[in-house]
Structure 1
């Protein structure tokens, strides 16, 4: 029951970040000096994954370039004797075995995952969405894999969702087993808040048995005229029990502008070389006579972390 393969769908158009995503994948947006997708790949590796399949689209070539060798840059750094930077660049291209499959048209998350069927080869696998960064000493994907190994059933990561964002998530109905684990009764894609079965939403981490791929194949177009993964999960749940796991960690939905900025600020404050200057900048805004009480309150919360 080892989970050694992961699928990372990165074929989305990133419309929430237009116009920058017109020419740049949202997964390549930087968190200071590393793109979002780098953190996602690092989480997969730290969870024991050694084989990653990216599901890409027409405008995602820069992701392939990022994880590839860069002879010209490496030679330049070598000539300039910038050994530290050279090691960073070389390490990126040797992180893990990476493969690329192109989704020919944007037909939804379920369809994107199904394109990896031949590569999965009837093995259990993880799915990590390319715009979620989750920070925790034990990676979120590792937590799901541990639950999968224990119970032998597909496990999806969930968290409480603010009322105003319920319509953006797949919302579950489940029976609690303990404080962090549920058996899944149902999952509904992007319901209205008043129609939602709970406020517990699925986020961008999953571990599946290979049967999910057969369920995706049987799934008709749903919300947005796309093949929805939540519909396939519901089909799989009719055949075998699925678990929902309330993961431990801090999640940043970097596909959301506010969450993206929060991630940059938090990562900067954790950087010992940057923290002092960032704190000084925030304090200067906090005591600015023109600052609103709301802005001052936000600054206090940031500096209290």
Structure 2
């Protein structure tokens, strides 16, 4: 299976930090966000990845490309651990790139991958969210796709007062954590939402999604919404992710994610806790 990672957005909520660099390259603790995303795809058994980019996204390509000068410098300095880390990034997967020439929505960004994908089923991982769980989120969706032979999307329960931020589904639970989806609603008002099960940025889609995108008229903001195209599929399933999704869509969530990941690192954990305690004491 191949994977598509849409990474063409402007990242306006992070300005001015994203004026000249992609939001997908913002570091979460010690790695750029998009590296975590690609590592998830690889851990799910995928090694053919297409990243959909736009203008000012060249640093993504540079990050996953080979850097002869850097490797030579690290080797000469005897920094073998750092050298292995740098080489591992280059060897993660076969990564290709295509540009979305206009900002016309997530549906259009995925449509840019049509030639690369052909008629196969493929995974989609949004480039501004990170997942963590006992089994990679994308692998869980692949398992659902293989069992039911239909497209599958990742779901997560969200508080009712936050449903307006997400695409929300209406469905019937067919087994534990798996839903046959009847309806998808993009960012409904809280009192109109059919559930609190939100679409969380991971998908496994059958090849006919490209025809459905082609049939979809522009929606809110003149953009082609993926949710509208998904609604046209004959069958689609949702899987409640066994793990946690980190939405790096705004500054506070990005900051919280960096702190949580730093606390998972034994080298930084104790020092970070001591620092946060000292800051709390200053604020009291």
| TM bucket normalised to smaller | over 0.9
Partner of 2:242: 248
Match of 1:222 among 219, 222, 247: 219
Could you tell me how far apart the structure 2 residues matched to 1:19 and 1:282 are? Answer: 26
Deviations for 1:86-109, whole angstroms, at most 9, x for unmatched residues?
111111111100000000011000
Structural mapping, 1:1-305, within 5 Å? 4-236=1-233, 240-288=234-282, 290-291=283-284
Deviations for 1:192-228, whole angstroms, at most 9, x for unmatched residues?
2222211111011000110111100110001221000
Could you tell me how far apart the structure 2 residues matched to 1:72 and 1:192 are? Answer: 53
**Aligned 8 A contact 1:110 1:227 in 2:** yes
The alignment partner of 2:154 has SS state of strand
1:282 CA displacement: 2.0
The TM-score, its normalising length taken from structure 2, stands at: 0.97
1:287 CA displacement: 3.8
Number of residue pairs aligned between Structure 1 and Structure 2: 284
Could you tell me how far apart the structure 2 residues matched to 1:16 and 1:90 are? Answer: 32
Could you tell me how far apart the structure 1 residues matched to 2:212 and 2:235 are? Answer: 14
The TM-score, its normalising length taken from structure 1, stands at: 0.91
Could you tell me how far apart the structure 1 residues matched to 2:42 and 2:20 are? Answer: 28
Deviations for 1:77-132, whole angstroms, at most 9, x for unmatched residues?
11111111111111111110000000001100000000110110111000000011
**Aligned 8 A contact 1:189 1:223 in 2:** no
Deviations for 1:264-301, whole angstroms, at most 9, x for unmatched residues?
1111111111011011112223444x43xxxxxxxxxx
1:22 CA displacement: 0.7
1:256 CA displacement: 2.0
Could you tell me how far apart the structure 2 residues matched to 1:155 and 1:107 are? Answer: 24
Could you tell me how far apart the structure 2 residues matched to 1:248 and 1:224 are? Answer: 33
Q: What 5-or-longer segments of structure 2 have no aligned partner? A: none
Could you tell me how far apart the structure 2 residues matched to 1:155 and 1:40 are? Answer: 18
Q: What 5-or-longer segments of structure 1 have no aligned partner? A: 292-305
